[in-house]
Structure 1
Amino acid sequence: MPIFRLFPVIVLVLLYGCATTNEQAATPGAAVKAVELTKPLGKKQQKESKTSIDPDVLFMLMTAEIAGQRGQYDVAMEGYLEAAKRVHDPRLTERAAMIAMYMKDGNKTNEAVSLWLKQDPNNLSARKIAALSALKAENKQQSVEQLSALLKQDPAGFEKTLFELAGALQKEDNVAFIYAVMDDLAVKHPDQASIFFIQSLLASDLKNKDLAERKIERALKLQPDWDKALILQAQLAVYGEDFKRAETLLRNASLKYPDNPKFKKMLAQVLIKSAKYEEAGEVYETLFANDPKDFESQFSLGLVHLQLDRDGKAEDIFKQLLVQADWRNQSNFYLGKIEEKRGNLENALSAFDKVTDGPFQFEAALTGISLLAKDKQYDRAEQRLKALPGKFPKQKPRIVLLRAELYSQQKQYEKAYSYLTEELSVYPDQEELLYSRALMADRMGNLGIMEADLQKILAKHPDNVEALNALGYSLADKTTRYAEAETYLLHALRLKPGEAVILDSYGWLKYRMGNRQAALDYLQKAYDKQPENEIAAHLAEVLWVSGKKEEAKKLIAKALQDAPDDSFLLHFKHKFLQLNSAH
């Protein structure tokens, strides 16, 4: 769980507070915008200004402004800093600090912020930058001092400040150090729940589950009704795959705070993770009944109905959501999936074509093309495919994979292989392209190239489950290098022990090694999890050679009813059933 990913935090530019707007901090030019020296002043201020800003200082400021406009930020920063030292104007010091931060000059940032705090000790923005700088430099004493000062100056905003600082430090590789700072801070301020909350997140990031749970419990003792802390406590249980505990925590919180929908929404998600779809649906129904404008819960209820094969109820919900602009595209996508499930190709395409924006747009386009290819309407699929690169330039690798798959479905393996080879000259280390070319090489009967591509993937990504499984299965199926095959497949099983395709590969390996009982055990598990045609063909073959021919026949007959043209099923039929009938 990356540090503070669970909760939105304010990015670094907001640390500047009122002193500097987002727009000013966003660009270098804005960051060095000249301080307004022409702002109307009272008579007393005019007098002070005339006596304090001498010609040398004015020259420094003019030089700094011109340097900033020309992109000479080091000159601009020195000019503002020197001017600030002479006229005791915190506005100039602030500008120098902003430029130093933009330049990532830690020493100059510290110098400018130190002067800024001397000139304006109660400035929260200066104090936050000082704390951030100390944390980045891993200066523990300074970090604790600055954070303590922030707590003293702004106790009501301290929680928000911690999140701001944490957000700014997300990319820094110093989680253990920040935790140690929080430890010292907790000793000085044992009544601050937010410190223990941050420690819980940090401990989770350090993979210390027990410590994370202890710290969040400490936070909740201090602030029992803190919704963020209650949710984090449940999230920690989820990350530990203790769904029962997460469910209990969230049910208790929902009963205690019935007007807070956050707990019910997370409870529904946990119930889905536990495959308790009926109960999750009931929670979403309650949420939507309590708030008819909670379209998120209404949409989630539609997905639950889909999961439970209540396509009609799901369809009603998605159609109702079509009038809501924010939910129209995803609703059309799932209406298309319902039509796909019913076998209504044209209706499905029509729904997918109405997905015109957002993250579902590309998926809808791909699904439409895949449906046409499945229906062997390759010309229409190709026509749609041609329009994708212009619409989705960032999705080039996935578009390439889809085109290769279209060639493959037409058994144009050499064409697919050549196309992927050409694309790999542009993206030489792209895992998905290498994997796809390996599959094409396998279909062409070129085991050497297939193995080389998969080994190239594993050299950089040794835990790539798809590559481990593909290589292990191919070695088991096409060679007698069973020991090597077992090494790859056992590695894959350790990473994903319940994955059906890996169980199938390992079962097939056991069959090839002559261990039929072990093969049957693994293949049956695989088929029970995922009754795919290839798994069915493997299981049927082992049943057949084990003397369980009637079971094998029933299994194949059932599979052929749904997929009469499947190559794996037909191979089994020709190899065993026709041979058997000839005798």
Structure 2
Amino acid sequence: MDFFKFLYRSRSAFDYADDNPFGISTLLNAIIKRLQQRRKLTLLLAACLCLAAPCYAHAHIFSPLLEAILPRSSSEKPQASTAATDTVTSDTKITLPTDLSNPSTTTAPAVELELTKQPRPPLSEPSLYALLDAEFAANRGNTRRALVLYKQQSFKEDATAVFERALGFSLNNEDVHESLDFAKSWLDQNPDHVPAWFYVAHLALKAHDYTLAGETLNRILRYDPRADLSEILIGIYPENDDDQRELLAALQPIDSQQNASLSVLKAGLLNQFNDPQNALIHINRALLTQPDYVPFITLKADILRKIESTETVLSYVNQARLRNPDSKNLYLYEIRYLLDLKQSQQAWELLLKAQNRFNDDNEITLLAALVSLDVEQYRTADQLLNILVKSPAYLDQAYYYLGISAERQQRFEQAKYYLNAVVREDLVLAAREKVVSFELLNDNIEGAINTLQLLRQQYPVFAPDSYVMQADILWQHNEAEKALQLLTRVSRKYPDNELILFARAQLLDDSKDYLIKRTLLNHLQALDPSNLSYQLSYAQLLLANNRSSEQGLELAKNLIQIRYDDPRYDNELQLQALNLLASNALATENYAQVINYLQTPYDVLPTLRSGELLLRAYQGLGADEKVEALLADLQQRFSFGQRNVNDRVQLY
């Protein structure tokens, strides 16, 4: 009993030792000395439990430690690590350490330990003292010491549990490349430890070391072709094309015929790189093992969409859905595919079936309501949206779309009621904009401005938007001076708000306010150099004051050269740039250039401004037949011009 009395007294010493590193070292030495004298299992357990008791605030802190040291307490010599020799089959799943599959974002000072370059400690069992020291260091936030100690001890004999603890700790506190180097070094010393193959494969994929990943995956699959690779592949899909191509190149030589996880990964990459025929081969292999697994089915459908007719794809998805009637995702896939095909009526009918089957699923109910609005089934839409009103999470969306439904049925007062009830921030601005438009329909300018004032009181984040909308209302009602004064005043409150600054610049006159407008537009371009609207407005200002401005012409021409597949492409913006260049060419009587700029855009998407410029160009060329034909088209489309044809021609 004297030993237990000693441990009990030791517990109180930890309170002092917590702030005294020399104290804890002395205490640990004393405990270990006693343990060496009394090596029974009960004493070892009692020591660990007594040591752990003062650390009750850090639950399970000694769990990995106990796992590491308990096998050493047996009266028999421990066998080789069973984890290293277990056969991995399709029914055996290697689970990565929690920290490995989802590393923490916690950062810590880098550890200057390069295990591959330092002499390895002599092989022996891990030191209890060192493990306790490492755990206490980790508990006190001294990650550097904890990492060094854990890594050192993991290279000793039968230290599998210590390695896994060290690897998880490394992932929480080190770069993935450092963790990979550690895991690789450990595997070099323990080449038959199968779980370590999985760790290294996963880390190699995360570190984009696809050569090592391919070699390790190949090694795993030679050992067990049906090994479960799902844990390895979690969160490793690269984002950029180069890494994806490198990953595909590393996976291609690996025989994945019997491995569904790898077959699917190959299929996804091949499909992405426009090789649907080979992708189909791999996804079919995966489906042989799991024919009703929904992610595999939808991937095959994605592949089929590139090489088969829509009827074939729809038939495949429909049959898969009938085999899996409780799969919500297959319903949604087929519905969205029908919507992509512009088959809204069929999508709506299938949605109603889905809503009946999953009547407590708000996502499907909302989608059914939206498609009902799209196909003008307003009664059904209202019924479905009123179901969603009962759900707090969907209440605002229900009110917003009930307002849209009422608007489309021209019940404007009811629409205002619903839209004014919307309070969710991501919907409230759009809802209030519609309320303002309803007030303006009735020429209720005061009501529209009151709505905007209330909006900025309730939601200060939308104050700049409300001021810009208010200025627009004033401008539309021939009060441009008041609108400019309003924006000038609020720009002092929001000096770098681009929305207000740009709206103010748009109200300034190109000639009279040239210097102020140029200063504003230069400031805006400094705030956002990539904004094409700012560039177009600046080009317009330059050309309005100098028809031969090289900078203005270059800016406008750069805008019209943006390809339709460029993410920056904006159809409306490009048409404005074409109109600007055409207007400039018209001012210099370059009529052929005007036609060159605008004839094709007008044929594709006619607008009044483009038509006016074309009309004046044909008139300048004396092309009377073209003038008459275009004039008739403008009158039909836009009610353009006067009764007398000659007057119309001269007017424009």
Spell out the pairing of 1:154-553 with structure 2 (5 A cutoff): 158-164=228-234, 166=236, 174-185=243-254, 188-203=255-270, 208-209=273-274, 211=275, 213-224=276-287, 225=291, 227-235=294-302, 245=309, 248-255=312-319, 257-260=321-324, 262-293=329-360, 295-324=362-391, 327-342=394-409, 347-352=414-419, 354-355=421-422, 361-374=424-437, 375=439, 376=445, 377-389=448-460, 396=461, 400-411=464-475, 412-416=483-487, 419-420=490-491, 423=494, 425=496, 433-434=497-498, 437-445=501-509, 446=514, 447-449=517-519, 451-452=521-522, 455-456=525-526, 459=529, 461=530, 466-467=533-534, 470=537, 480-481=547-548, 483-484=553-554, 486-492=556-562, 494-495=564-565, 499-500=571-572, 502-503=574-575, 505-507=577-579, 509-510=581-582, 512=584, 513=586, 514=591, 519=598, 522-523=601-602, 525-527=604-606, 535-536=607-608, 539=611, 546=627, 552=634
- Alpha carbons of 1:111 and 1:223: their partners in 2 closer, same or farther (altered >3 Å)? closer
User: By how many angstroms is 1:161 displaced?
Assistant: 3.0
- Alpha carbons of 1:288 and 1:379: their partners in 2 closer, same or farther (altered >3 Å)? closer
> Residue in 2 aligned with 1:6?
none
How far apart, CA to CA, are the structure 1 residues paired with 2:220 and 2:303? 29
> Residue in 1 aligned with 2:51?
none
CA RMSD of aligned residues (A): 4.7
- Larger Rg: 1 or 2? 2
> Residue in 1 aligned with 2:140?
70
Return the letter of the residue paired with 1:381: L
How far apart, CA to CA, are the structure 2 residues paired with 1:258 and 1:61? 57
How far apart, CA to CA, are the structure 2 residues paired with 1:128 and 1:221? 25
Deviations 1:287-323 (A, max 9, x none): 3355544553443232223223443332232223333
- Alpha carbons of 1:259 and 1:406: their partners in 2 closer, same or farther (altered >3 Å)? farther
> Residue in 2 aligned with 1:562?
none
How far apart, CA to CA, are the structure 2 residues paired with 1:55 and 1:273? 63
How far apart, CA to CA, are the structure 1 residues paired with 2:415 and 2:335? 29
User: By how many angstroms is 1:328 displaced?
Assistant: 3.6
Deviations 1:153-194 (A, max 9, x none): 776663523531525x65997333322221232xx3444343
How far apart, CA to CA, are the structure 1 residues paired with 2:312 and 2:71? 68
User: By how many angstroms is 1:471 displaced?
Assistant: 5.3
Tell me the percent identity. Answer: 14
- Alpha carbons of 1:419 and 1:32: their partners in 2 closer, same or farther (altered >3 Å)? farther
Return the letter of the residue paired with 1:526: L
- Alpha carbons of 1:55 and 1:295: their partners in 2 closer, same or farther (altered >3 Å)? closer
> Residue in 2 aligned with 1:148?
218
How far apart, CA to CA, are the structure 1 residues paired with 2:150 and 2:63? 9
User: By how many angstroms is 1:123 displaced?
Assistant: 6.2
User: By how many angstroms is 1:326 displaced?
Assistant: 5.1
How far apart, CA to CA, are the structure 2 residues paired with 1:120 and 1:33? 29
Deviations 1:96-125 (A, max 9, x none): 11122222254465435654796795664x
Aligned 8 A contact 1:305 1:313 in 2: yes
Aligned 8 A contact 2:187 2:197 in 1: no
Greater fraction of residues in helix: 1
- Alpha carbons of 1:269 and 1:277: their partners in 2 closer, same or farther (altered >3 Å)? same
Aligned 8 A contact 2:154 2:162 in 1: yes
How far apart, CA to CA, are the structure 2 residues paired with 1:306 and 1:485? 42
User: By how many angstroms is 1:498 displaced?
Assistant: 8.5
Q: State the TM-score, normalizing by the size of structure 2.
A: 0.62
User: By how many angstroms is 1:75 displaced?
Assistant: 0.4
Deviations 1:417-461 (A, max 9, x none): 564576464xxxxxxx547633431321245246535654774x3
Matched residue count: 497
Of stretches 287-296 and 263-272 in structure 1, the one that deviates more from structure 2 is 287-296
Aligned 8 A contact 1:454 1:467 in 2: yes
- Alpha carbons of 1:43 and 1:246: their partners in 2 closer, same or farther (altered >3 Å)? closer
How far apart, CA to CA, are the structure 2 residues paired with 1:216 and 1:108? 33
> Residue in 1 aligned with 2:47?
none
Aligned 8 A contact 1:465 1:495 in 2: no
Partner-residue secondary structure (3-state), 1:131: helix
Deviations 1:55-96 (A, max 9, x none): 993332232122212221120112223334456332222211
Partner-residue secondary structure (3-state), 1:347: helix
Aligned 8 A contact 1:508 1:538 in 2: no
Aligned 8 A contact 2:297 2:320 in 1: no
Of stretches 228-237 and 277-286 in structure 1, the one that deviates more from structure 2 is 228-237
Q: Tell me, which stretches of 5 or more residues in structure 2 are unaligned?
A: 1-56, 79-123, 440-444, 476-482, 620-626
How far apart, CA to CA, are the structure 2 residues paired with 1:540 and 1:247? 46
Return the letter of the residue paired with 2:236: A
Q: Tell me, which stretches of 5 or more residues in structure 1 are unaligned?
A: 1-28, 390-395, 426-432, 528-534, 559-571
How far apart, CA to CA, are the structure 2 residues paired with 1:345 and 1:478? 45
How far apart, CA to CA, are the structure 2 residues paired with 1:232 and 1:474? 51
